[in-house]
């Protein structure tokens, strides 16, 4: 009886902002690793999510949404996404099923121009599409690019996700186990903690505030009691944004801290003491030095 082939490789998940890339990866991993919100441009960095399957390991790359960049931060985000289609074994191109395929055609062709890896088009949010429209949309997308497969899924409900994972695994080459089978990502806990805090700001504040926030973990120490003491700074661009993040009598900052602490405790499986500070770092999103300091430029 022949031995089964161990398949492994790197798979980029790309697409416009807010099409469900992070939600899909969280669903595949079975854990909330990537932060999500209903606001576009939530994901800023390229993050690896490691998924082990029988006879294989899939290393997914969650990427920022592809959009028209204006600030240095936005340019960094788009570069992170576009560079991820090179040097990988497979690409998942995610689209919102409600979008008009004809309006997406130019962007798809531009992003995938010169790409050598096979591409699977993932038609997400199929729970929002009338069943009679699904096949027509799949056919329309099939005319935009020679996709290896077109797979309809709902990242929110999980419909079609297992079939997608099986397809991905089958298309990967024979290869090694790149990471230990007991880890979900290669990013440090400090990074995930900062992202959790930023997610709570996204969910609890409104308008321009979330897009002007950068969170830096200043201190991460485990005490003899087992409690993890964390100090983090929330950087905003204007005094008015600082006021919104702090809130009346500090109520908003307290709410952000409470929700973030509870999720960090679940992540670390221990008690956490979280202390948050808010600082005005004027126009940091267009400042090369600050972007490097906050981890957004190599």
d(CA 99, CA 103): 8
d(CA 191, CA 247): 25
Residues in the chain: 298
The angle subtended at Cα 64 by Cα 208 and Cα 33, nearest 5°, is 95
CA dihedral 79, 81, 83, 89 (to 10 degrees): 180
Q: Minimal CA–CA distance to 17: which of 38, 37, 33, 41?
A: 41
Q: Which residues are documented as binding site?
A: 15-22, 62-66, 124-127
Does residue 153 contact residue 96 with C-beta atoms inside 8 Å?
Answer: no
Number of DSSP helices (H) and strands (E) in the chain, helices first: 9, 9
Question: Hey, what are 11's tokens?
Answer: 């798979």
Q: Kind and range of the H or E element at 288?
A: helix 288-293
Q: Which residues are documented as binding site for GTP?
A: 15-22, 62-66, 124-127
Q: Kind and range of the H or E element at 139?
A: helix 131-142
174 forms beta bridges with 7
d(CA 280, CA 292): 17
């Amino acid at each position: 009886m022949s031995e089964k082939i161990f398949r492994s490789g790197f798979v980029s998940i790309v697409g416009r902002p807010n099409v469900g890339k992070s939600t899909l990866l969280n669903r595949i991993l079975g854990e909330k690793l990537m932060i999500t919100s209903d606001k576009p441009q939530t994901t800023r960095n390229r993050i690896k999510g490691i998924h082990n399957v029988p006879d294989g390991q899939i290393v997914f790359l969650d990427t920022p949404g592809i959009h028209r960049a204006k600030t240095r931060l936005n340019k960094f985000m788009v570069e992170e996404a576009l560079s991820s289609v090179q040097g990988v074994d497979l690409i998942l191109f995610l689209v919102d099923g409600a979008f008009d395929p004809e309006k997406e055609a130019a962007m798809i062709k531009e992003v995938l121009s010169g790409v050598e890896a096979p591409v699977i088009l993932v038609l997400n949010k199929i729970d929002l599409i009338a069943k009679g429209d699904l096949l027509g949309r799949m056919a329309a997308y099939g005319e935009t690019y020679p996709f290896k497969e077109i797979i309809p899924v709902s990242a929110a409900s999980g419909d079609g996700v297992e079939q997608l994972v099986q397809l991905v695994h089958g298309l990967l080459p024979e290869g090694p186990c790149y990471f230990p089978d007991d880890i979900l990502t290669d990013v440090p806990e400090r990074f995930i903690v900062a992202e959790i805090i930023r997610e709570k700001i996204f969910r609890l504040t409104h308008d321009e505030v979330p897009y002007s926030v950068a969170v830096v973990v200043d201190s991460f120490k485990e005490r003899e009691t087992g409690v993890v003491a964390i100090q983090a700074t929330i950087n905003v661009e204007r005094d008015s944004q600082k006021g919104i993040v702090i809130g009346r009598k500090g109520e908003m900052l307290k709410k952000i801290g409470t929700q973030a602490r509870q999720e960090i405790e679940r992540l670390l499986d221990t008690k956490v003491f979280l202390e948050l500070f808010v600082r005005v770092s004027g126009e940091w999103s267009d400042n090369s030095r600050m972007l490097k300091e906050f981890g957004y430029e190599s």
